[in-house]
Chain A
Amino acid sequence: MAHETSSSPLVMGYEVVIGFETHAQLSTQSKIFSRASTAFGAEPNTQACAVDLALPGTLPVMNKGAVERAIAFGLAIGAHIAPISIFARKNYFYPDLPKGYQISQFEIPVVQGGSIEFFMPEVKGVAEKKSVRLVRAHLEEDAGKSLHEDFVGQTGIDLNRAGTPLLEIVTEPDMRSSTEAVAYARELHKIVTWIGICDGNMQEGSFRCDANVSVRKPGDPLGTRREIKNLNSFKFMQQAIDYEVRWQIEEIEDGRSIQQATVLFNPDSGETRAMRTKEDAADYRYFPDPDLPPLCIAPEWVQEIRAQMAELPRVMAERFVRDYGLPEYDATTLTQSKAMAAYFESTAQACTQPKLASNWIMGELSRRLNAGDIGIAAAPVQPPQLATLIARIADNTLSNNAARQVFDAVWAGEGTDIDALIEAKGLRQMNDTGALEAIVDTVLAANAKNVEEFRAGKDKAFNALVGQIMKASKGKANPQQVNDLLRSKLS
């Protein structure tokens, strides 16, 4: 497994150890324990009802939708769905925590174990496969928001977010580099959005990552970790972890020991800064919430949800390998999003050239999409066109070069009828041997010198002749045919 992978890149001789805690807001309409709306961006405290405000006499009532989403996540990552799990109170005082405790799960979470597999970015054409083990994923309620800017010497509290259902997803310390950490986070983000339990909107805080980072000399026991809170973009995630790693190593090199701490990343300075530590933060006095009996999940319910779930990216990738004979890397890349996977399948089925389809989508198409920053659904070249294009390459109507020109034309909006464009641009490959032979003869006659040199054993001369012939054919000649014909004539 990846956590045992030999290829742990060392930083200045230190091994980096990273674990993740991700808070994914679940996409329910109402809150986890109340019937108030979870919609984002409402006027302050207009979506904080009596239960959310912890008014005396109020009690929590559990939202079925949140449990369904937790189950779906557990199934998506091959985890154990606990038939009985317990809600506990995490006690601490904070103005955005109305009850003075957060209802969470402590000893027995609803999702246990599981793992997330993903590929590292390609290095020299090779992408390493990784697997990160999950410890657990548990249900809990979100806190409100503290607004520090608006008031002098005071903080404003907006409790609209209080009680929004969260799934806290906790990994083992399996990651060994910021790159691997980001790759994990991207994969997790893909899964929760793919199965639709979270909208994944990182700007709005729907998907918040905390990274536990420590460093050690290879073979040493785990070092003291510092937790980087609220990493809400993949870019900052990498910057923050890289900075933190360097900082920790320098501390140790300077003979200072690392103190366990919670730190915040400041995107402007690019630095991490320890939060003002709450001396009793460690003592949360967890105990089972007497207001909430145990959460019981019957196997039938799990089956029901499994049946309703769309094909998971991992499963779909396996199918692409099996049914289309794609390399695992292609299959994984093509299942980055439902849209891309669908684009691939319709193209591959239409042109019956899955590998070519994969190459074009991962290559030319992706390049253009990224360059133009547009979604695949809006791509000017849609599966029917790409499929025809690929078919024409396969039947030797087009050379790869010519095909790229046609692709450009469609992208530029010159038309969508591939064959019409091929004719209009006269890009059809010359496969008529008679006509080609004529050209070859003229070229040979006109270049006696090269012929001599070739016969004298200079291979360069042969290439020169091929070049001349291709030129004479205005690039329409089939390079393979030219080769064969030329050899037979010169032998």
Chain B
Amino acid sequence: MTATPTPSHELHDLSVVSLAQALRQKQVSAVEVASHFLARSRSHAELGCFVALDEDTTLAQARAADARIANGSALPLDGIPIAHKDIFVTKDFVTTAGSRMLQGYRSPFDATVVSQLAAQGMVTLGKLNCDEFAMGSSNENSAIAPVGSSQPEAVRNPWKLDRIPGGSSGASAAAVAARLAPATTGTDTGGSIRQPAAFCGVTGIKPTYGRASRYGMVAFASSLDQAGPMARSAQDCALLLSAMCGPDLDRDSTSLDQPKEDFSLQLEQSLAGLRIGIPQEFFGEGLSADVRMAIDAALKHYEQLGARLVPISLPRTELSIPVYYIIAPAEASSNLSRFDGVKFGHRAKNYTDLTDMYKTTRAEGFGDEVKRRIMIGTYVLSHGYYDAYYLQAQKIRRMIADDFQSAFEECDLIAGPVAPTVAWKIGEKSDDPVANYLADIFTLPASLAGLPGLSLPVGFAQTEADQGLPVGMQLIGNYLQEARLLNAAHRFQQLTDFHLAKPAGF
């Protein structure tokens, strides 16, 4: 089945593209739009999406947008609201990265991604909850109480409130699905944009590593972290990604020296003759019936659109789990050493000496999953284990990247599931970290290779237990092929209406 689209002309149902139009044609003011979404975010506090809201700041930005629109100096995305994952540092809003360690932290500067979007006229609604330091795939690992609550709470999936929204950009996906924001930012280290997008039935894209500046993103795993947009359609994502990406040569040494690109240009391009690679390893017995069914149907749609399905192999797909969970924690263990209670952030109240101050501060400031990964990362880098673990992982990482290159000799892009299942129940896996890790199997390979990956809604679960939960499909492109991915997703969304489906009650 496909969910019946509920056509509506309410502000929060408008796409970014149509909102931009309405604003430019002065059918609605930026202040009206901002106020409308602020009101929604408060009336739907039960989802636990926002960890920081500041009406005055938001409305001030909206007024400035209205002024520009009024005097004819409107910026491309003037007045369009956006909410940022709380992993991006901001001057005007507190930044916590979901951690007790950064409770109440105010950055003296804005992340490059944030200022780039502001420079296009976008209005910041607030900051969105996420797994602590982006470590997690369920958004159950945040230590920060959402707005309207006194203690930390799991972010809820708008499609079924007892389900997780995915992670780590869980609230970014949930907020878009629930129409609390027309667009949000997320970050993806091992699937943190694609998987929550899939679980919440929205569209999200992680660009090629180095496309979006990492300056101002609280670092988790430096060689994997990438920022990307989440919205309801590929067309909206194209618009936002174009605004977010671009070289940041003075601030980020890993930022690619690639000219700014308009990812909307190829959207309408025909898919006739497009070779879509289907990796056999993505369709093994671990894949749930619901997901398989939706993906198979989606692939048929692609054939209708003129694409050709090509069987390919990514032989080291399963290895990507240990490889990723060695490399990411190793980098994280080092990146998180700066949280020592000396220059900023949490410092323990009671300690006996310097070492005790470090240990107690970090024990109090970090949550379980973060501690676990710091422990794993510290161990695999420690004397006598480096070669067997970290170095070995970096070598297999090269093999995984090479596997993709040989695959791309036979196909133009790769399609498969984002995750083996739909969103699971809150608490279901929270005491089994390894089970969580295994669920990342389909998003990790592209992350390790630094390739762009997109997630788009392609259906809903049929089986009774998961009835109505969204299923996402992943499209992986070769380096710098974001426009191609967005084009393929957009053509699919012109043919289908999964992306228009709306969770009941929102």
Give me the interface of A with B, judged by CB distance under 8 Å: 50, 53-62, 89, 91, 93, 95, 98-101, 155, 157, 159, 282-283, 285-287, 290-293
The answer to whether B343 and A59 touch across the interface, beta carbons within 8 angstroms, is no
Assuming the A-B contacts A95-B342, A290-B331, are A285 and B381 also in contact, with contact meaning beta carbons closer than 8 angstroms in the complex?
yes
Could you say which residues of chain A place their CB within 8 Å of the CB of B221? 290
**A56 adjacent to B89 (CB under 8 Å):** yes
B479 an interface residue at 8 Å Cβ cutoff? Answer: no
Shortest distance in angstroms between A279's beta carbon and chain B's nearest beta carbon? 10
List the 6 closest A-B pairs by CB distance, nearest first.
Answer: A100-B337, A290-B223, A285-B381, A290-B222, A57-B216, A54-B338
Q: How far is it, in angstroms, between the C-alpha of A478 and the C-alpha of B378 when the chains are bound?
A: 84
Complex-state Cα separation, A395 to B342, whole angstroms? 75
- Contact partners of B223 in chain A: CB under 8 A: 290
A293/B338 in contact, CB under 8 A: no
Asked, given contacts A98-B343, A100-B340, whether A59 binds B251 with beta carbons under 8 Å apart, the answer is yes
Further pairs besides A57-B215, A285-B381, A285-B386: 6, Cβ < 8 Å: A55-B109, A57-B217, A59-B254, A89-B334, A95-B342, A293-B254
Chain A residue with minimal CB distance to B110?
A: A57
Query: Are B222 and A291 in touch, CB under 8 angstroms?
Result: yes
Whether B89 pairs with A100 at a CB distance below 8 angstroms is: no
Closest A residue to B217 by CB, please name it: A57
**CA A122 – CA B500 in complex, angstroms?**
90
Nearest residue (CB) in A for B224 is: A290
Say which one of B58-66, B100-108, B239-247 lies at the interface with A: B100-108
B252 on the interface (CB 8 Å rule)? yes
A282 & B383 in contact (Cβ 8 Å cutoff): yes
Chain B proximity of A163: nearest CB distance (Å): 13
Tell me whether A287 and B386 are in contact in the complex, defined as CB-CB below 8 angstroms, given that A50-B109, A54-B338, A91-B337 are known contacts: yes
Contact count band on B:
35 or more
B351 in the interface (beta carbon within 8 A) = no
Q: Known contacts being A89-B334, A100-B340, A101-B334, is A57 close to B111, with CB within 8 Å?
A: yes
- Which of B330, B337, B338, B383 has a CB less than 8 Å from the CB of A283? B383
Verify A157–B342 contact, CB threshold 8 A: yes
Contact A59 B252 (CB under 8 A): yes
Closest B residue by C-beta to A287:
B381
B91-124 near A? 1/0 per residue, CB < 8 Å: 0000101000010010111010000000000000
Whether B390 sits at the interface, judged by CB under 8 Å, is yes
User: How far, in angstroms, from A460 to B364 measured CA to CA in the complex?
Assistant: 97
Known: A56-B338, A89-B334, A95-B354. A61 touches B251 (CB 8 A): yes
**Across the interface, which residues of B come within 8 angstroms of A159, CB to CB?**
343
A-B contact pairs, 23 of them (CB 8 A): A55-B108, A56-B97, A56-B218, A57-B215, A57-B217, A57-B219, A59-B214, A61-B252, A91-B381, A95-B340, A95-B354, A98-B342, A98-B343, A100-B336, A100-B338, A155-B354, A285-B381, A286-B381, A286-B386, A287-B330, A287-B381, A287-B386, A292-B253
Convert B222-262 into 0s and 1s, putting 1 for each residue whose CB lies closer than 8 angstroms to a CB of A. Answer: 11000000000000000000000000001111100000000
Question: In whole angstroms, what is the CA distance A89 to B331 when docked?
Answer: 10
Once the chains bind, are B105 and A93 in contact (CB under 8 Å)?
no
Tell which of B108, B214, B378 touches A285, judged by Cβ atoms closer than 8 Å: B378
Report how far A41 CA is from B261 CA in the complex, Å.
46
Asked whether A287 lies within 8 Å of B334 as measured between CB atoms, the reply is yes
